[in-house]
Amino acid sequence: MKIKNILIVAIAFAITSFTYAQGTLKGKVVDADGEPIIGANLLWEDTSIGGVTNIDGQFSIELATSTNQLIASYIGHTSEKVAIDNPAEFVTIVLQGELALDEVVVSARRSSTLNSRMYPLQSQKITYDELCRAACCNLAESFETNPSVDVSYADAATGARQIKLLGLSGTYVQMLTEQVPNLQGAASAYGLSYVPGPWMEGIQVSKGTSSVKNGYEALTGQINIDYKKPQTADPLFVNLFAAHTGRLEANVDGNIAINDKLSTGLLLHYSREKMSHDSDDDGFMDMPKTEQYNVMNRWYYKSNNYIFQVAANFIHEDRESGQIAHGEHIENPYKIGINTDRAVLFTKNGYIFDHDKNTNLALILSGTYHKQNSSFGLNKFDVEQKNIYANLMFETELDSKNRISTGVSMNYDNYNEKLIDQRVEGLDNIKLKRKDPIAGAYAQYTFDYYSRFTLLAGVRGDYSSDHGFFVTPRLHLKYAPLGELLNLRASVGRGYRVANVLVENNYLLASSRKMVFERGLDNFESAWNYGASAHFTFPLFNRDLSIMLEYYYTDFDKQVVANVEDPTQVVFSNLKGRSYAQNAQIEISYPLLKGFNVTGAYRWTEAKTTYDGKLMTKPLTNRYKGLLTASYQTPSGMWQFDATSQFNGGGRMPNPGTVDPLWNSDFPSFITLSAQATFNYKTLSLYVGGENLTGYRQKNPIIDAANPWGDRFDATMIWGPVHGPKFYVGMRWSIPRNS
């Protein structure tokens, strides 16, 4: 009887899914300047039938039988209602930007974090409004209100921030800036600080293996950063920030439309934090002294069918940390110094052959030079990386349901590393000077049945002179049996990466551990990723209740393992046994009151790796995480109040040693709280806030801090906050583009 009922429900879903589709409407949504709007919402009036525009601003949605009134909307723009009299015609909808008035009346407030309902990949867009809800000084601080991405300190000395996604290190996440691979290799340790928060227009976070168009990486996910664009950004924007710890920051960007086809923009950033803090009196700075200069210039040109973009970015950063004196003289202080110069140049060219079928050819080119000189006490580590990347892509729609994308790509890395450390064993087992060119080709097919069922299948083949030929298959499915009320997704795919062992683990030099490199160490890693999710949207009291359920499983067959189970050394070896991570997450969002949005999430993580022949839980990994975030905006929009609380579960510490243990075998759970109040008047925003307001901090984050030259010193066993409460103030001011 149960089987019969299940079959009846399944047949009903199928009938519902296919009988709704009576035809298709295709079109495009643009702004007042004719630029495509990504993520604009389309909805037939008084129905749940609709869709979202893609990266080209285009949409394809099924027709409604009960109305011909189509509503288009997007954040920051006035909604438009359009009568569709001839569904066979390609429709273009223009959304006007909202004008800045003396008094702004907000009739409805939309979420500042958007979950894609059309794209087959499980993806989430963090908008600029969401970034402004917290002290988003750089990319490392952009995920404070996000339940999926964790950001923590790698150690208690250098200030290096690391992200985790699906319970694994951020090295398994592919980092992109406007779909161009970036922040990899030599930039992986401190790269999160290279992207100023006020420069960003938004962030897209995708979980699981992503599209093969961007390469063979993304074992656990993909994070893509969109910078402000000169053709759409305000002519002038200023952001000033100051924290009570002595951190000062200034951001200025200006954008000029030279004519109706050519625009340029200049983005400037300067930050410094030169005060010494030692709140726990262990003789070491709580946070490093830093100073950064960051500048970007970009150009945009568009004719009828041709689009050209080019951008150049230069960064110089100094970091200084280590022992400080409290009135007494330290004869031989332990110091850490890290100096970085980085230059990036990328260009994007696109030519559209057929607007109706979106047939286009695109070429992406980028070049990166990164030089980092660092010292940890008597140990020195220098790295120089040169990277060249190219991607030639062709896309076209065969018809309203079928789309193909093909291309060829090349990634070339040239590394020159130098390590001076008397505690190293087997350094000759890794290549300190290496050239790693990898070239490949891909094909991707998309089948979209009226946004009810979408299949995205891709495969690419790549060849490396060091690692041979390898194939990357990936499959993504999306099914919407009840329209926008329910979206089901499933994915499976393979991913690879070249591990940069020294660069990615250089923070371990801030310890007395001996570094041991296994003979025959292979730095090529590979894993399978499986994922499934369900997104429910229920109308409840004239508001939408959103519930997201997710599960992901990452299974490694090749991996470089950093074994820190012996407190006196770290051993780098290839995986001998199993290594996996599984995550289950639930996220619920609901506007409790007008202008008052609440999001709650809970995530469970199990990550295990084989150490010394035994499958063990990965150390320094939280077993669970809970998040509760609330945001209230007054009806006039003049005031906004935001608060976020994170509930971080405990986890396992590495083996502390049997005689005179250096730390406990487990670390406890803890709660952090951040809050911010913002005052808005026309184009001026003033904000004040605080981080870690609970004041929780890890006790004794540096092991044997009084004797940094001894054999017990270790600053890398970090699982919690290393500083107390931080308070800040800031302002944002702009000259709007429409003024």
DSSP class per residue in 375-396: EETTEEEEEEEEEEEEEEEEEE
Residue 386 has pLDDT above 90, yes or no: yes
Q: Judge whether 196 and 137 are in contact, CB under 8 Å.
A: yes
Q: Residue 70 CB: number of other CB atoms within 10 A?
A: 25
Q: Rounded to whole angstroms, how far apart are CA atoms 104 and 142?
A: 27
Pairing between strand 221-227 and 433-449? Answer: unpaired
Grouping H, G, I as helix, E, B as strand and the rest as coil, residue 422 is coil
CATH number of the domain enclosing 58: 2.60.40.1120
Extract the tokens encoding 562.
């950093």
Q: Which of 29, 60, 94 is the last residue of a domain?
A: 94
pLDDT digits (tens, 9 = 90+) for 300-354: 999 989 999 999 999 999 999 999 877 677 888 999 999 999 999 999 999 999 8
CB atoms within 10 A of CB 6: 10
Domain closes at, from 94, 124, 152: 94
Same domain, 125 and 41: no
Host H or E run for residue 501: helix 501-504
Q: What's this model's pTM, rounded to 2 decimal places?
A: 0.86
Tens of pLDDT, residues 495-516: 999 999 999 999 999 999 999 9
Query: Residue 599 and residue 290: Cα distance in Å, rounded?
Result: 34
Residue 609 CA to residue 620 CA, distance in Å, equals 13
Strand partners, 643: 630, 675
Residues 155 and 205 in one domain: yes
The residue to which tokens 């469970």 are assigned: 604
Question: pLDDT at residue 7 above 50?
Answer: no
57 and 158 belong to one structural domain: no
Residues 646 and 518 in one domain: yes
Q: Among all chains, which residue has been given the structure tokens 């702009």?
A: 734
Render pLDDT for 36-88 as a digit per residue (tens, 0 to 9): 887 788 888 877 677 888 767 788 888 887 788 898 888 667 788 888 887 87
- Joined tokens for residue 587: 């996220």
User: Residue 112 has what pLDDT?
Assistant: 65
Q: What is the pLDDT of residues 596-637, one digit of tens each?
A: 999 999 999 999 999 999 999 999 999 999 999 999 999 998
pLDDT above 80 (res 228): yes
Tell me if 521 is assigned to some domain.
Answer: yes
Q: What angle do CA 290, 335, 381 make, to 5 degrees?
A: 85
Determine the Cα–Cα distance for residues 436 and 415; give it in Å rounded to an integer: 8
**Whether 83 and 184 share a structural domain:** no
Examine the domain organization and report whether 595 and 543 are in the same domain.
yes
Question: Looking at the structure, do residues 615 and 655 belong to the same domain, yes or no?
Answer: yes
Q: What is the mean pLDDT of residues 452-465?
A: 95
Q: What pLDDT is stored for residue 15 in this prediction?
A: 36
Indicate whether 108 belongs to any domain: no
In a domain, 103, yes or no: no
Q: Which of 60, 94, 128 is the last residue of a domain?
A: 94
Which amino acid does the sequence have at 114? Answer: L
Q: Do residues 565 and 598 make contact, with C-beta atoms less than 8 angstroms apart?
A: no
What pLDDT is stored for residue 73 in this prediction? 85
What is the band of 259 on the pLDDT scale with cuts at 50, 70, 90?
A: very high
- Strand 24-30 versus strand 91-94 pairing type: parallel
Taking only Cα atoms into account, the Rg of the chain, rounded to an integer number of angstroms, comes to: 26
What was the pLDDT predicted at 76? 63
Is residue 101 situated within a structural domain? no
How many domains is the chain partitioned into structurally? 2
| CB-based contact 192:138 (threshold 8 Å) | yes
Residue 19: predicted pLDDT: 36
Which class for 99: exposed (0-12), middle (13-18), buried (19 or more C-beta within 10 A)?
Answer: exposed
What's the CATH number where 192 sits? 2.40.170.20
Residue 279 lies in a domain: yes
Give yes or no for a contact between 299 and 309, defined as CB atoms under 8 angstroms apart.
yes
Residues 6+ apart with CB under 8 A from 502: 381, 383, 417, 419, 430, 432
Same domain, 549 and 421: yes
**What value does the mean pLDDT of the chain take?**
89
CA distance 729 to 724: 17
Structure confidence at residue 18 (pLDDT): 37
H-run or E-run covering 411: strand 402-420
- Mark whether 573 and 687 lie in a shared domain: yes
Same domain, 454 and 530: yes
Question: Looking at residue 330, what is its pLDDT?
Answer: 80
Give me the percent of the chain exceeding a pLDDT of 70. Answer: 93
Residue 554 buriedness (CB in 10 A; 0-12 / 13-18 / 19+): buried
Q: 182 lies in a domain? A: yes
Print the domain residue range for 56.
Answer: 2-94
Q: Which of 8-17, 91-100, 687-696 has the lowest mean pLDDT?
A: 8-17
The answer to whether residue 105 is domain-embedded is no
Assess whether 139 and 87 both reside in one domain: no
Q: What stretch of H or E contains 407?
A: strand 402-420
Is residue 345 packed enough to be buried (19+ CB in 10 Å), middle (13-18) or exposed (0-12)? middle
> Are the C-beta atoms of residues 257 and 209 closer than 8 Å to each other?
no
Q: With 50 as the cut, is the pLDDT of residue 22 above it?
A: no
> Residue 273: which pLDDT band, with cuts at 50, 70 and 90?
very high
Count of alpha carbons within 13 angstroms of residue 364, beta-carbon side: 19
Inside any domain, residue 725:
yes
86 and 163 assigned to the same domain = no
Q: Residue 111 has what pLDDT? A: 61
Q: Kindly tell me if the per-residue pLDDT of 446 is higher than 80.
A: yes
pLDDT of residue 113: 67
